[in-house]
Structure 1
């Protein structure tokens, strides 16, 4: 089974926003695309995550458990990316300091 993390993110957004239309607006994606991707995810998993009809949107018990894991996984991915971005922003590497072996004489004038 090929895992597509985008499908997990789409599913989480659909559940978070309470439907395909609201999630589509938030993501600036057509709701038909989101519906197709969630249907494909459900097919790969072999079960329904969302019960949907023209009047009703309900997350199944399994869908709710899957949603919670998806949100945790996506939050972890965001933290990992933030960690990498922070590491890039901070100076890093080795600093070499060289000095000459000659002694210089300095005079202080007041």
Structure 2
């Protein structure tokens, strides 16, 4: 049986361009309200709920575990995905489930 949790976070980007893979120092940690059972495979599906900044705020998720995940904006700018720094605060809704 799958377990599902949902939530939302107010997220912005005040950081410079992230160019080093695996460097999550500019990511925000999200903790699930209830940890998933140990050994579960968890998938996180985030979606921006607002339109406050001029560029499209793509979302990067990393380090998904049974207790939470890390998240950061990765803007779509000029037709190419790249993390180009600043972005206004947006509401991001997320759904996490076991698979």
TM-score (norm 2): 0.20
Of Structure 1 and Structure 2, the greater helix share is in: 1
User: Which of 1 and 2 has greater Rg?
Assistant: 1
- Per chain length, whose mean CA-contact separation is higher, i.e. which structure has more relative contact order (CA < 8 Å, sep 6+)? 2
